[in-house]
Amino acid sequence: MRIRMMPMAALVLALVGVASCAPKPIAIGFVGPLTGSSAPIGLGVRNGFLMAFSVGPGAATGSIPPYTLIVKDDHSDPDACLSALVELKAAGCSVAILGTTSQAATKALP
């Protein structure tokens, strides 16, 4: 019985070791006006952001580490933009893309 369990235990340890070596996903955030007067432009920028990371013809393969995408609406408002950036930082985002056409980023950047 003990001899049969050894290969299983070795397999479990090997799988745990491989899983712990896998790179953590990179969190990438987007903040833009998805509602309000600038929404049509903000939605187009957001869609381009999402398309840039999609899988399909022309997408890079094998060299991109795993990632997660987080999209936030700044409502074309500087306070909401700053709040969205704070939320992205709290979520562990390494990169935040400001796709805003309004003055919302001016308060968030400093």
- Tell me the pLDDT tens digit for each residue of 30-39: 998 999 888 8
H/E element, 40: helix 39-52
For position 98, what pLDDT does the model report? 82
Of 13-22, 43-52, 54-63, the range with the lowest mean pLDDT is 13-22
pLDDT at 84 over 80: yes
Average the pLDDT over 87-94 and give the result.
91
Rounded to whole angstroms, how far apart are CA atoms 71 and 47?
10
Contact present, 42 and 34 (Cβ < 8 Å): yes
Given the candidates 2.40.50.140, 3.40.50.2300, 2.60.130.10, 3.40.630.40, the CATH classification of the domain at 24-108 is 3.40.50.2300
Domain ranges of the chain: 24-108
From first CA to last CA, the distance across the chain in angstroms is: 65
Check pLDDT > 70 for residue 78: yes
Q: Can you say how many angstroms the Cα of residue 102 is from the centroid of all Cα atoms in its chain?
A: 23
